Amino acid sequence: MSKWEELKQQIVDSPVWQSIFRHGYDDTPRNRVLMVSGNVFLHLHPSKVRRHATRLRFTWCMGGITFLMFLVTTVTGVYLMFYYRPTAEYAYADMKYLEFDMPFGMLMRNMHRWAAHGMVIAVWLHMFRVFLTGSYKPPREFNWVVGVLLLVLTLLLSFTGYLLPWDQLSIWAVTVGSNMGRATPVLGHEGPGHELIPGLNNVYDARAFLFGGGEIGPHTLLRFYILHCIFIPLVTSIFLAVHFWRIRRDGFSGPAL
Amino acid sequence: MAKGEARVAEKLAVAEQRVVEQRLQREKVARDRAALGGLWSRRDVFGRFGWGVFAAFSGISLLAAVRSAFPRILFTPPTAFKAGPVSDFTVGEVNTKFQKDQRVWIVREDEGVYALFAKCTHLGCTPRWLTAENKFKCPCHGSGFYKTGINFEGPAPRPLERLRITKAEDGQLVIDKGVKYLFEKGEWDKPGAYLKV
């Protein structure tokens, strides 16, 4: 036994290593199952996946790509947060600064942007594939509903992120996009049934709840920032866990080979 | 496939057992309840009281959270402005003095005065008051409105909006752009849409 192998054996036999990696690397069916079921992240997955369920021609891997895009936006988003201040005075200047003056800032900002676009595209294609293969049918109908919620959350993530550069495009795009809020049934001051709640007006209705006022202002920037960086990612993560967990419980769809 | 069949049989047995257990439990609860003769047990009292307090607290907290989303102070320009005394306005004329700063026209008639919001109901341009032709004309797509605000030509789908007009204690006209009166909803008859002088 060489010196290196001896050292390696010592490390692998040490209590620290043994407490983290409990099952070794033996490539046996039993060990593989133990590796998956004993890992807090992997245990959401089935410990065994049949070959047909991972066939690319069937899955398009669109769910996986969506998740990858989510991870990319999360990591690059944390990087961007270090340089971005969500106040009306600084937001636009910080956006310019992190893009043009920070080392690798342009790369990070563009990765965040393109991963966000990619996530929206991939999530639609994932939905399309699930629809085409009939994978939404019982017993997977619950997971379809969770998936629709995740689609909405993905769009909301994009929408809230759109405001953050704080330039004319983002302000007016969000102004137009949130006009829907005014027409919310009952809760919007211009929506059907708004008479049912007395006192609804431009600054007390569904859109003002989102904006913190009658129009886009500093309140809105901060709110969208917090929704974009904390609230929606948190909710999305929870639903992602449920989504993956349901796949395991309901079993993978797909034709047997 | 003996193994598979055995597994199915086992699953069925478990399901059956579960049904029996649940039935027994329900019967036990029903017996206990009957023994009390319609009274609440101590556990019922404390349980319902506790959950009631919890629900009330949660509900009030939720209302407070929603209310706190609407700031008390908004740093936006006030929607109302003072337009001077009625005597500043000539009967029969459309006053465009406030068009630039406030986007408002004030029209004085024999019996009273009203304020029009200077925003075309087609796509939101600012129309012009043409004295010679006695109409409002939008430069963007040619919508035309009578002095009353009623649309009569061009693509505008509805009349101009009127704004709330009142008289302050010092005799000046006060126009509130935050309150709009729409003709098509019959709101021009409401007090505030027209100030009798």
Q: What is the pLDDT of residues A61-97, one digit of tens each?
A: 999 999 999 999 999 999 999 999 999 999 999 999 9
pLDDT at A252: 80
pLDDT, mean of residues B135-147: 95
Is B73 part of any domain?
no
Of the pLDDT bands very low, low, confident and very high (cuts 50, 70, 90), residue A21 is confident
B75, part of any domain: no
Do B37 and B94 reside in the same domain of the chain? no
Query: What pLDDT does A180 receive?
Result: 87
Name every chain B residue with its beta carbon within 8 A of the beta carbon of A213: 71, 74, 76
How many whole angstroms separate alpha carbon B170 and alpha carbon A243? Answer: 66
Question: Does residue B136 carry a pLDDT above 90?
Answer: yes
For residues B2 and A16, the model is more confident at A16
Fold category of A58-178+216-250 in CATH: Cytochrome Bc1 Complex; Chain C (1.20.810)
Task: For residues B100 and B187, state if they share a domain.
Answer: yes
Helix ranges (H only) for chain A are 3-13, 15-20, 29-37, 56-59, 62-81, 91-100, 105-132, 141-163, 168-177, 179-182, 206-211, 218-226, 232-250
* CATH number assigned to the domain comprising residue B113: 2.102.10.10
Contacts of A199 in chain B (CB under 8 A): none
pLDDT for residue A225 is more than 80: yes
Q: How far is the alpha carbon of B194 from chain A, nearest alpha carbon, in Å?
A: 21
pLDDT at A257 over 80: no
From the list B69, B74, B75, which residue is nearest A209 (CB)?
B69
Record the tokens describing residue A27, joined without a space: 């490539």
Strands B80-85 and B135-137 turn out to be unpaired
Distance from CA of A212 to the nearest CA of B (A): 6
> Considering just the CA atoms, what is the radius of gyration of chain A in Å?
24
Same domain, B102 and B190: yes
Give me the pLDDT at residue B179, please.
Answer: 87
What number is the ipTM of this complex?
0.71
**CA–CA gap between residue A223 and residue A86 (Å, rounded):** 9
In Å, how far is B167's CA from the nearest CA of chain A?
Answer: 22
Residue A256 clears pLDDT 70, i.e. is over it? no
Give the domain extent around B61: 2-68
Task: Give yes or no: residues B86 and B138 share one domain.
Answer: yes
Q: Is A203 in contact with B75 (Cβ distance < 8 A)? A: no
Pair (B96, B151) in one structural domain: yes
What tokens appear for B77 in the block?
């320009």
Q: Please tell me whether residues B88 and B154 are part of one structural domain.
A: yes
Residue of B66, B71, B178 with shortest CB distance to A219: B71
A31 vs B3, residue with greater confidence:
A31
CB contact under 8 A, B76 and A214: yes
DSSP states along A78-125: HHHHTT---STTTHHHHHHHHHHTSTTHHHHHHHHHHHHHHHHHHHHH
Model confidence at B2, in pLDDT bands (50, 70, 90)? low
Shortest distance, CA B61 to any CA of chain A (angstroms): 16
In the predicted model, what is the mean pLDDT of residues B161-171? 93
- Looking at the fold, whether B111 and B132 belong to one and the same domain comes out as yes
Q: In terms of domains, do B127 and B37 share one?
A: no
pLDDT value for B51: 97
User: Does residue B54 lie within any of the structural domains?
Assistant: yes
pLDDT of residue A255: 65
DSSP summary character for residue A204 = B
Is a pLDDT exceeding 80 seen at residue A23? Answer: no
Asked if B122 and B158 sit in the same domain, the reply is: yes
State pLDDT tens for residues A182-194.
899 999 988 899 8
Question: Is there a contact between B70 and A204 if contact means CB atoms under 8 Å apart?
Answer: yes
Residue A29 has pLDDT above 90, yes or no: no
Hey, what long-range contacts does A144-150 have (CB within 8 A, 24 or more apart)? A146/A239, A146/A242, A146/A243, A146/A246, A147/A243, A149/A239, A150/A123, A150/A236, A150/A239, A150/A240, A150/A243
Chain B residues touching A219 at Cβ < 8 A: 71
- Per-domain boundaries in chain A: 1-48, 58-178+216-250
pLDDT band at A214 (very low <50, low <70, confident <90, very high): confident
Q: pLDDT, tens digit, for every residue of B29-51?
A: 899 888 888 888 898 899 999 99
How many domains is chain B partitioned into structurally? 2
Distance from the Cα of B62 to chain A's closest Cα (Å) equals 14
Rounded distance between C-alpha atoms, residue A115 and residue A103, angstroms = 20
- In this structure, the answer to whether residues B124 and B171 fall within a common structural domain is yes
Percent pLDDT > 90 in chain A is 64
Q: For chain A, say whether B64 makes contact (Cβ under 8 Å).
A: no
Contact B74 A213 (CB under 8 A): yes
Q: Is B98 within the bounds of a domain?
A: yes
**Is B70 within 8 Å of A203 when comparing Cβ atoms?**
yes
